[in-house]
Amino acid sequence: MQGRADAAITLVQYGDYECPYTRLSRHSIHQLQREFSNSLRFIFRHFPLEEIHPHARAASAAAEAAAQQTDFWTMHEHLFEHQEALEDADLQRYAEELGLDSSRFARDRTSPDIENRIDRDLDSGQHSGVPGTPTFHVNGIRLENGYDLESLRSAILAHIAGTEQVGSSSRVARASAAEARAPFGNTAACCRRWRLTRTRTG
């Protein structure tokens, strides 16, 4: 989590470290964090689409292994900045570049605790109807119209103003304007899941 625990607005992103649209959406997130400061907290949840992104789950595990050394967000950004190189050897090298204990990192990223953490995020996303990455929720409401800066800002402002649900008519109008401004401004521009590769047991 980034931001204050008592912030008025919680922005949750379900993302995939190998998804180019999740990577692009970071610019909007960074701008919103600057604009809304203490009013906004940001939570990233893992939603690796293993059927189309074979390295995504290992990258999520690397981020969580870095979190064990209190360095989740540095690794988070590093993984997106090096999205084209997410092999195991690359992940281990990133840990060394960031000054982490590389032996502990190697152990942690294959630990059952971290696997369970990623599974919990996946289950949460599936339960809330996440269709692909990136998907955003503002105060528990899934955004339907896009994830460009203006769409996210409008949703946040609506909640700050006390609106419990973004009106569908205004969503359509804002989505049309946003598509003209942003190359990744609608829900069609995302990496979509078409099946689950994880086998449930028990």
According to the model, what pLDDT value does residue 191 have? 78
Q: Are 14 and 131 in contact (CB under 8 A)?
A: no
* DSSP assignment string, the chain: -BS-TT-SEEEEEEE-TT-HHHHHHHHHHHHHHHHHGGGEEEEEEE---TTT-TTHHHHHHHHHHHHTTT-HHHHHHHHHHTTT--SHHHHHHHHHHTT--HHHHHHHTT-HHHHHHHHHHHHHHHHTT--EESEEEETTEE--S--SHHHHHHHHHHHHTT-SS--HHHHHHHHHHHHHH-TT-STTSSEEP-S--PPP--
- Tell how far CA 122 is from the center of its chain: 12
Phi/psi for 85 (5° steps) reads -135, 85
Domains and CATH numbers, the chain: 9-192 (3.40.30.10)
- Kindly give, in sequence order, each residue whose CB lies less than 8 Å from that of residue 4, ignoring residues fewer than 6 positions away: 38, 41
- pLDDT string in tens for the chain (202-residue length): 999 999 999 999 999 999 999 999 999 999 999 999 989 999 999 999 999 999 999 999 999 999 999 999 999 999 999 999 999 999 999 999 999 999 999 999 999 999 999 999 999 999 999 999 999 999 999 998 778 999 999 999 998 887 444 444 344 334 333 333 333 434 345 677 543 333 333 3
According to the model, what pLDDT value does residue 109 have? 96
According to the model, what pLDDT value does residue 166 have? 42
